[in-house]
Chains A and B, each alone.
Chain A
Amino acid sequence: MAHPLERDPHQLPPESFLEEVHSFAFWFDAVQGYLGDLEHGHRRETPEAVLSPLEREHLVTVLCNYCVGETAALEGAGGLIQIAPNRHAKVFLATQTVDEGRHLEVLTGRLRELGVEDPEAEIARRGSRSLQEFHRRLLELVRGRDWIAALFAQNVVLECMEFAVFALHAKRADPRTCEVLSGIVKDERRHMGFGENELGRRLRDAPYARERLRAVRQELDALVLGSFEETMDAIGTPRADRTELGSHYLAAVARLGFA
């Protein structure tokens, strides 16, 4: 059998394509390409930037909020395995679960590098209330075994939010934070792709579900945008600079066809 990277999965029939791209082997070959030489999400030799006390304080607050989002993503992905309708989806979600766990690990690792001794306590103290409410609501959808709505909340709304925030932040971040975020963004693309593909097929077979997703989105968008506001308040972002983040998130969702 050819190595997964030596064969083009797009040449496969639809069922075999899904089996291939949702497999452990495919995941490993994908992440190996960009995680192979990293330790805790960044290259060992990448220097630590000199941050002013205020810059460090802002970065810690932002990273704590990322950790709230990644904890929600970790618990959400684990829970989704229970309700996934087939083996391919379960195996893909298992790879996503370990991705989310890795994100949480590298982000808490970054907090430690910045001198935070007890990241869990700091995350609880600095986490945005809107994001915590999002976390609660996501797990409620998972526990309700509502596959379409829960997958939408996790792999479209949450992943698009993280994608938009991390991609934007990476452009301006210090070198180590930039490398950590860039690795995470590559994973998020895969997760968004799975959500788009799975939901696209479901919506084609059951177009009435689109209305349900619209209602879920309306509720969750408010929490996403609220969490942006809270975090930007906490780090003192000027009003004029605030629209870019919300626009990035809304554009990411629209690109997946869920505008």
Chain B
Amino acid sequence: MADFLSAYSIQYWLESAPQGYLEGTEFGHLPGEEEPKLLQGDPLIHEQALRTTVQLVVGERCALSASSGLINAAPDEASKRFLATQTLDEARHVEVFTQRLYDLGVQKGELEDVIRRYANPNLVKFAEVLLEKVDKKDFVAGVVGQNIVLEGMAFNVFELMHAANQNLNPKFAHTLSGTIADERRHVGFGENRIGSLIRENPHRKGDIERMQKEMSYWMLATFADSFRSAPAREEMARARAQAGPAAAPSSWHGVDLGKADPEEMEHVLADTVLADFKKRLGRIGLEYQSPARP
């Protein structure tokens, strides 16, 4: 265990993250990059950007609370140190996504009101399931909930958003690429560290699998709300036409994001995340539980 954890040391983190892919960035993007004018000029697209960014802030606040809360519950010093780096990663994510809200025109004094107004209640329930485990200092369930379920979801959501924005909004795409690199490290730690703990505590499997099922349900409900309230395909096409041909989005998991309607995007995201859960949970000896579809 000690050898694998050496790849998660603070020295390694300093060299790979702040001195690596974050070097020269400002709030996660290149200095001088701005949100595209389209976002400021079109009320529908602007509100959608605010709503999306609020969910990112809510998710990252939950991740910050969970990773910092798990430090006290970690059974060994190396895991505590890794969680310290994850805590700072999550705080940085809170900072960069909060800054995006400011860049989108939210005033500092109205930040919490905007977050309350747009926070998806299903995402809040998702966070509550995880934070209850953290409050009880349940390290095994907490790391599965945080580093497999929450981070696995975030990783795929960020990748989808990155694909959709890399031509339309390079500033946001750059911010996302740094967070994706962080999430990849977090998911790796979860898989590596928890596998051995699950083998040592097989009686915990049922309880943790139930947590995964419940968190997955609230995640799907969040996706459903987000995509079903998204601007219709025609509206998005109109906005993209305004932005010009260079703004054409890429495809993601075989779906052309420029042509897909919200329902199709919801399905590809949900299916990708759930397939990922199944694969990762299998690797650590847990059986994936299918959630009800909201």
Contact = CB atoms under 8 A, between A and B. Distances in A.
Interface of A: 1, 15, 23-25, 28, 32, 35-36, 39-40, 71, 74-75, 78-79, 81-82, 87, 90-91, 93-95, 97-98, 100-102, 104-105, 108, 119-120, 139
B72 A91 contact: no
A91 B94 contact: yes
A81 B87 contact: yes
B108 interface: yes
B72 to A, nearest CB: 5
Contacts of B95: 23-24, 91
Nearest to B137: A143
B242 interface: no
Contacts of B70: 78
A102 B10 contact: yes
Interface in B43-94: 64-65, 68-72, 76-77, 80-81, 83-85, 87-88, 90-92, 94
B98 A78 contact: no
A39 B83 CA distance: 20
Contact of A98 (B22, B69, B88, B94): B88
A1 B31 contact: yes
B92 A78 contact: no
Given A91-B91, A101-B10, A108-B77, A78 B65 contact: no
A94 B98 contact: no
Nearest to B76: A120
Nearest to B11: A40
B81 A104 contact: yes
Contacts of B26: 1, 25
A82 B80 contact: no
B77 A98 contact: no
Nearest to A81: B68
A95 B91 contact: yes
14 contacts: A24-B88, A25-B26, A32-B18, A40-B11, A71-B77, A74-B84, A90-B94, A91-B94, A93-B68, A94-B90, A94-B91, A104-B80, A119-B77, A120-B77
Chain B interface mostly: helix
Contacts of A102: 10-11, 14, 81, 84
B87 A78 contact: yes
Interface residues of B, number: 34
Of A15, A32, A78, A90, the most chain B CB neighbours within 10 A belong to A78
B289 interface: no
Nearest to B109: A15
Given A81-B69, A91-B91, A102-B10, 7 more contacts: A25-B26, A39-B11, A78-B72, A82-B65, A90-B64, A97-B88, A98-B13
A40 B81 CA distance: 14
A78 B10 contact: no
A120 B1 CA distance: 14
Q: Report whether over half of chain A's contact residues are helix, strand or loop; otherwise say mixed.
A: helix
A25 B19 CA distance: 12
B11 A105 contact: yes
B84 A101 contact: yes
Contact of A105 (B10, B27, B65, B90): B10
B9 interface: yes
A24 B85 CA distance: 12
Contacts of A97: 68, 71, 84, 87-88
> Chain A CB within 10 Å — which of B11, B27, B108 has the most?
B11
B139 to A, nearest CB: 13
Contacts of B81: 74, 101-102, 104-105
Nearest to B25: A25
Contacts of A87: 94, 98
A97 B84 CA distance: 6
B27 to A, nearest CB: 8
B68 A82 contact: yes
